[in-house]
Amino acid sequence: MTAETVNRVIRVGTRRSLLAKTQSGQVADQIAARLGVQVELVEVVTEGDVNQTSTLASLGGTGVFVSALRDALIRGDVDVAVHSLKDLPTTPFDGIALAAVPPREDPRDVLVARDGLTLGELPPGSVVATGSPRRVAQLHALGLGLTIVGLRGNIDTRLGRVASGDVDGVILARAGLARIDRLDVVTESIDPLQMLPAPGQGALAIECRSADADLVADLAAALDDAPTRAAVTAERELLRTLEAGCAAPVGALAEVAEGEHGPEIWLRAVAAAVDGTVELRRSASGPVTDAAEIGRTLATSMLDEGAAALIEEPGKQQA
Ligand SMILES: NCc1[nH]cc(CCC(=O)O)c1CC(=O)O
């Protein structure tokens, strides 16, 4: 670690939802333990948190959760920002570095349904809530005759819809439930063969000012996980090349495993019509050092097969 970092108090900015505070708190603890520095959590209020009535699209998309934290970084109010990586726009932000991507949680989506039911056990006409076009598209494509309704709010609000009997089930990211220790409510972890997660799902992004070069280097050395970094690089490069935002019906999952000639990456992706009538599922693999290229190449061939028509921004919410 650099001498410059040792005597600093590192201020870690966090949104104020339970999930945000939990994941920022865990990262803050790791920074304190591994860098041997003092760490302070600073709450930053974002418009996405305050305004629960407008749709995310009308607020400017998922960016509303990210930009307030980045503004606080640029202003120097905080030194580190922790985001859910899947909420980060794919375009880099001037002056901000993605210093570390820690080991990823299980990236799958899960069903939380009444009476312990799985997707296959929900009778036709069952009502499943999700606001994510990516999840809506893949649910419809399963052909189970489910009725899909919208959903917003924090995890507790979402789980409340099932508990109250308002809906038969909701779809959530497993990682969010894992971080707040609520895996007990999961009734099925959905196989990526049926539902590919959002690019970056289950991973965290640890950002700081690019100019804070010592901190960038120290965070990378202490917290970055190379296989996770490679996987999310491939997924996000695919998303960027498709020119799809985080609200597009696009799923992607890359996994790294030891191959014959070193570590290899295997990327699966889907672009789908929100009504589930068309689903384009493709995959590609290669050496882990080519992660970005593999994402770009797979996206290009999916565009050649007509992906663009499927992923026009539906103007709904992310996830
Ligand atoms: N869509 C919002 C969002 N952004 C990050 C997570 C938590 C899980 C993660 O880190 O991927 C969630 C909740 C969800 O999708 O259920």
pLDDT digits (tens, 9 = 90+) for 97-119: 999 999 999 999 999 999 999 99
Tell me the whole-structure pTM to 2 decimals: 0.92
pLDDT digits (tens, 9 = 90+) for 136-182: 999 999 999 999 999 988 899 999 999 999 999 999 999 999 999 99
* SS3 label, residue 81: strand
Determine the residue of 86, 106, 196 to mutate for testing ligand 1's pocket, defined as the one with the most ligand atoms within 8 A of the Cβ atom.
86
Are residues 180 and 267 part of one domain? no
Are residues 181 and 164 part of one domain? yes
What 8-state DSSP symbol labels residue 77? S
Q: Does residue 316 fall inside a structural domain?
A: no
Rounded Cα distance between 316 and 40, Å, is 36
Concerning whether 87 is annotated as a catalytic residue, the answer is yes
Are residues 126 and 266 part of one domain? no
User: Closest Cα to atom 14, ligand 1: which residue?
Assistant: 173
Are residues 220 and 92 part of one domain? yes
Catalytic member of 87, 109, 212, 218: 87
Of 117, 158, 161, the C-alpha closest to 317 is 158
Q: Does residue 34 fall inside a structural domain?
A: yes
Are residues 98 and 20 part of one domain? yes
Instruction: Quote the number of domains for the chain.
Output: 3
pLDDT digits (tens, 9 = 90+) for 7-19: 789 999 999 889 9
Domain limits for position 165 = 109-189
Amino acid at 175: A
Q: Does residue 319 fall inside a structural domain?
A: no
Q: How far is the CA of 120 from the centre of ligand 1 (A)?
A: 24
Q: Does residue 194 fall inside a structural domain?
A: no
Residue 260 is part of a domain; what is its CATH number?
Answer: 3.30.160.40
Q: Does residue 251 fall inside a structural domain?
A: yes
Q: Does residue 195 fall inside a structural domain?
A: no
Q: Does residue 317 fall inside a structural domain?
A: no
Q: Does residue 197 fall inside a structural domain?
A: no
Cα-atom radius of gyration of the chain, to the nearest Å? 19
Rounded Cα distance between 2 and 214, Å, is 6
Rounded Cα distance between 196 and 138, Å, is 8
